[in-house]
Amino acid sequence: MELTAAKQKFIEAWGKLGSEWGINRTMAQVHALLLVSPEALTTEEIMKDLSISRGNANMTLRDLIGWGLVEKQHKAGERKEYFYADKDTWNIARQVAKERRKRELDPVLKILDELSNVKGDVKDPEFKTFNKTVTDINKLAKNVDKTLDTMLKAEESWFWGSIFKMFK
């Protein structure tokens, strides 16, 4: 397989993977393009390479910047904006985990904490079932949150070393 075909296959695969993670497919494809590009790219280059509209490219780049996955750069003497993706996979994983935590886990934890305080008759089977379910899910969500917190604070080698020790 030649490099051009391999890049295209990677961009398509990253787009599919991103959409399975809850990230817009185009957003993941733009990220993939920037990951495999040795230099920062302009909006026009991204539009051309991925055959997307200016509006889609601008909105997607804004989202990627918001997620902390892409940086905007300026080159001296040029009016164009350039976009660059951090290529450190550990940084990418931590940034995605941080954003997903903020967007998905934090709101669920807030709701579960509220629901854990619902008052009722402990002898009522309906209340008992509801309370146990909410309490169990809340415990699980808090454990996931602690694990994510550990990952976000950890250095790559320490984190993976700890994970591997758990499976020995």
pLDDT of residue 84: 96
Q: pTM of the full predicted structure?
A: 0.75
Q: Give residue 152's domain range.
A: 89-167
Distance CA 65, CA 46 (A): 15
Nearest to 15 by CA among 42, 34, 1: 34
> Are 94 and 134 members of one domain?
yes
In this predicted structure, which of 114-123, 128-137, 146-155, 159-168 has the lowest mean pLDDT? 159-168
Mark which of 40, 66, 85 sits at the end of a domain: 85
Q: With both helix axes pointing from N to C terminus, report the angle between 156-166 and 125-153 in degrees, rounded to the nearest 10.
A: 130
Mark which of 29, 64, 85 sits at the end of a domain: 85
pLDDT tens for 15-66 read 998 888 778 899 999 999 999 999 999 999 999 999 999 999 999 999 999 9
> Are 24 and 63 members of one domain?
yes
pLDDT tens for 73-132 read 988 888 899 999 999 888 888 888 888 888 888 999 999 989 988 898 889 899 999 999
Q: With both helix axes pointing from N to C terminus, report the angle between 25-35 and 54-66 in degrees, rounded to the nearest 10.
A: 80
> Are 80 and 93 members of one domain?
no
